[in-house]
Chain A
């Protein structure tokens, strides 16, 4: 089984076993990773499951739709590799992926 590692803003690392087919947000919430609020429950409607994907892994997170871009634009800590984790589907090919959490969700 592969692993994805979430890194909190303070540097704390949380490796999580890959469960293919779930969203990255669900993977975080179900494993008790702090710093993901996901207020809308995965509808791409609140922007509070923001993550910053390690540059080398951006391509494997897949395509971004306009609705996600629109929500991310409202996030003060947005970077070039920001994603809403509810819009990323976890797959076995993500073994070793590193995902950073922003300081705050808004």
Chain B
């Protein structure tokens, strides 16, 4: 379904799809924005929850039915750990009937999460993988939120861009761009690691992956933050009107990037290994621009997928090594442990808290009956700390055995497509950090993102020695 037709008669669909492919995408988004603004003034929009932060109660003071792990301040206030531990111990498959996002089930143990994640015949990823819906009028289609067989076709079309073969060709470039950032960091004076390292490196990576104008790379992080941060979707604090403007800007710029590369290909020029060039080289995807919602959906998915996740693991790793200083000593003595530590960082941080599904039929799980149509949230952040599956799960252990056996990438057909890229980026970062710095000291308390989905940092001061 396209933006243009989403409110109209289904019978008109084929005609409208054809029209949609001929109207520039950014105009369609502007049109949808105008339509939503009119609806809002007429009081006809779906109610959007408003979140104001208050100190949350300790979990031991709450009745089980009142525990609401969708609260977007739980992570920031450091309470996620105790809330989820109580659910794992007392009510591992838990029903919350009255959250601001509506009723939902929480799956909190490792084995139950593995079950739900691998049974796409029982649990659908459609229409979206966040607890709440996407903003009205901005419902883009991405394969992370599609079931097989459609999911498989779309994913296969784009996955080669982050396949290990392609990554091997990019390693030197990523390393030199990482080195450049690290060589310009101040020694002995505090600076914001999030801004200067994590955001900078992930924006550079995305610009490389898309062959996006390098000097405008900050836009990629900005678009991503807006796409993942709407209040009704994840409890974030992104502004809806700003989100529409950003979506239109992104559509315009990504479409023109596509057209430029298409023209270069038609002129017989050598094509690179960037995403759009690969899509243009593939028979199934070379006309994707004529299917606007698929095109924009893939762009958004890859930008968001490659942004928050790696960014917050880059910050989380530094924080973990500060909370477990003996591990930093061991790391300096054994730099060969970097690849294993990277998996441990990704488990310890779990940069995305969950993925959501909808039950396709009634399912019995750990003594509860999940009804057809119910929302089911797989809390990876909880499963990664499940004492039943992982020994000493709250300890950060750089040479942990089976460190790769974490839930952060998900399991099953939706398993993170960029996992090898993420591991490579983090490995290169730590290899280059160890060559340069003796001490990486966190100064003061980090500041945290407001979200029930992204487990991340908005600021963390660090002093290098």
Q: Show the binding face of A for B, using Cβ within 8 Å.
A: 37, 39-41, 43-47, 67, 70-71, 73-74, 76, 103-106
Looking at chain B, what size class is its interface with the partner chain? 20 to 34
B420 at the interface (CB under 8 A from A): yes
Contact (A37, B117) CB under 8 Å given A74-B152, A76-B163: no
Whether the Cβ atoms of B160 and A40 lie closer than 8 Å is: no
Closest to B111 in A: A43
Residues of B within 8 Å of A74, CB to CB, are 152, 155-156, 159, 413, 415, 417
Residues of B within 8 Å of A105, CB to CB, are 164
B118 at the interface (CB under 8 A from A): yes
**Interface secondary structure of A, over-half rule:** loop
Please measure, in the bound complex, the distance between the C-alpha atom of A71 and the C-alpha atom of B155, giving whole angstroms. Answer: 12
Of B2-10, B370-378, B404-412, the one contacting chain A is B404-412
Please name 14 further chain A to chain B contacts, defined as beta carbons within 8 Å, in addition to the given A74-B415, A103-B165, sorted by A numbering: A40-B114, A40-B405, A41-B402, A41-B405, A45-B117, A47-B415, A70-B413, A71-B412, A74-B152, A74-B156, A76-B164, A104-B163, A106-B159, A106-B419
Residues of B within 8 Å of A71, CB to CB, are 412-413
Q: Of the candidates A39, A76, A103, A106, which one forms a contact with B405 in the assembled complex, judged by CB atoms under 8 Å apart?
A: A39
Residues of B within 8 Å of A70, CB to CB, are 120, 148, 152, 413
Residues of B within 8 Å of A46, CB to CB, are 409, 411, 415
Residues of A within 8 Å of B155, CB to CB, are 74
Q: Of the candidates A37, A67, A73, A76, which one forms a contact with B165 in the assembled complex, judged by CB atoms under 8 Å apart?
A: A76
Closest to A71 in B: B413
Instruction: With both chains docked as a complex, state the minimum distance between the C-beta of A49 and any C-beta of chain B, in angstroms.
Output: 12
Instruction: With both chains docked as a complex, state the minimum distance between the C-beta of B340 and any C-beta of chain A, in angstroms.
Output: 12
Q: Of the candidates A43, A44, A103, which one forms a contact with B164 in the assembled complex, judged by CB atoms under 8 Å apart?
A: A103
Residues of A within 8 Å of B114, CB to CB, are 40, 43, 45
Instruction: With both chains docked as a complex, state the minimum distance between the C-beta of A82 and any C-beta of chain B, in angstroms.
Output: 14
Q: Of the candidates A45, A76, A103, A104, which one forms a contact with B118 in the assembled complex, judged by CB atoms under 8 Å apart?
A: A45
Closest to A48 in B: B404
Whether the Cβ atoms of B415 and A104 lie closer than 8 Å is: no
Residues of B within 8 Å of A44, CB to CB, are 118
Whether the Cβ atoms of A43 and B156 lie closer than 8 Å is: no
Whether the Cβ atoms of B152 and A73 lie closer than 8 Å is: yes
Please measure, in the bound complex, the distance between the C-alpha atom of A47 and the C-alpha atom of B128, giving whole angstroms. Answer: 24
Residues of B within 8 Å of A43, CB to CB, are 114, 118, 411
Q: Which of B162-213 contact A (CB under 8 A)?
A: 163-165
Residues of B within 8 Å of A73, CB to CB, are 152, 156, 413
Please measure, in the bound complex, the distance between the C-alpha atom of A73 and the C-alpha atom of B164, giving whole angstroms. Answer: 16
Residues of A within 8 Å of B120, CB to CB, are 70
Instruction: With both chains docked as a complex, state the minimum distance between the C-beta of B239 and any C-beta of chain A, in angstroms.
Output: 36
Instruction: Rank and list the top 6 A-B pairs by shortest CB-CB distance, nearest first.
Output: A104-B164, A45-B411, A76-B163, A39-B404, A45-B118, A70-B413
Please measure, in the bound complex, the distance between the C-alpha atom of A45 and the C-alpha atom of B111, giving whole angstroms. Answer: 12
Query: Please, could you name 27 A-B residue pairs with CB atoms under 8 Å apart, sorted by A?
Result: A39-B404, A39-B409, A41-B402, A41-B405, A43-B114, A43-B118, A43-B411, A45-B114, A45-B415, A47-B415, A67-B118, A70-B120, A70-B152, A73-B152, A74-B152, A74-B155, A74-B159, A74-B413, A74-B415, A76-B159, A76-B160, A76-B163, A104-B163, A104-B164, A105-B164, A106-B163, A106-B419
Instruction: With both chains docked as a complex, state the minimum distance between the C-beta of B374 and any C-beta of chain A, in angstroms.
Output: 23
Residues of B within 8 Å of A45, CB to CB, are 114, 117-118, 411-412, 415
Instruction: With both chains docked as a complex, state the minimum distance between the C-beta of B300 and any C-beta of chain A, in angstroms.
Output: 20
Residues of A within 8 Å of B404, CB to CB, are 37, 39
Contact with A along B134-150 (1 / 0, CB 8 A): 00000000000000100
Q: Which of B375-409 contact A (CB under 8 A)?
A: 402, 404-405, 409
Please measure, in the bound complex, the distance between the C-alpha atom of A37 and the C-alpha atom of B409, giving whole angstroms. Answer: 14
Please measure, in the bound complex, the distance between the C-alpha atom of A41 and the C-alpha atom of B389, giving whole angstroms. Answer: 12
Residues of A within 8 Å of B165, CB to CB, are 76, 103-104
Please measure, in the bound complex, the distance between the C-alpha atom of A67 and the C-alpha atom of B148, giving whole angstroms. Answer: 11
Please measure, in the bound complex, the distance between the C-alpha atom of A43 and the C-alpha atom of B412, giving whole angstroms. Answer: 9
Instruction: With both chains docked as a complex, state the minimum distance between the C-beta of A69 and any C-beta of chain B, in angstroms.
Output: 10
Please measure, in the bound complex, the distance between the C-alpha atom of A91 and the C-alpha atom of B404, giving whole angstroms. Answer: 28
Closest to B156 in A: A73
Closest to B120 in A: A70
Instruction: With both chains docked as a complex, state the minimum distance between the C-beta of A88 and any C-beta of chain B, in angstroms.
Output: 18
Closest to A40 in B: B411
Contact with A along B405-435 (1 / 0, CB 8 A): 1000101110101011000000000000000
Residues of A within 8 Å of B415, CB to CB, are 45-47, 74
Closest to A41 in B: B405
Closest to A78 in B: B156
Please measure, in the bound complex, the distance between the C-alpha atom of A47 and the C-alpha atom of B409, giving whole angstroms. Answer: 12
Please measure, in the bound complex, the distance between the C-alpha atom of A67 and the C-alpha atom of B114, giving whole angstroms. Answer: 13
Contact with A along B208-230 (1 / 0, CB 8 A): 00000000000000000000000
Residues of B within 8 Å of A47, CB to CB, are 415
Instruction: With both chains docked as a complex, state the minimum distance between the C-beta of A89 and any C-beta of chain B, in angstroms.
Output: 19
Residues of B within 8 Å of A76, CB to CB, are 159-160, 163-165
Residues of A within 8 Å of B152, CB to CB, are 70, 73-74
Instruction: With both chains docked as a complex, state the minimum distance between the C-beta of A44 and any C-beta of chain B, in angstroms.
Output: 7
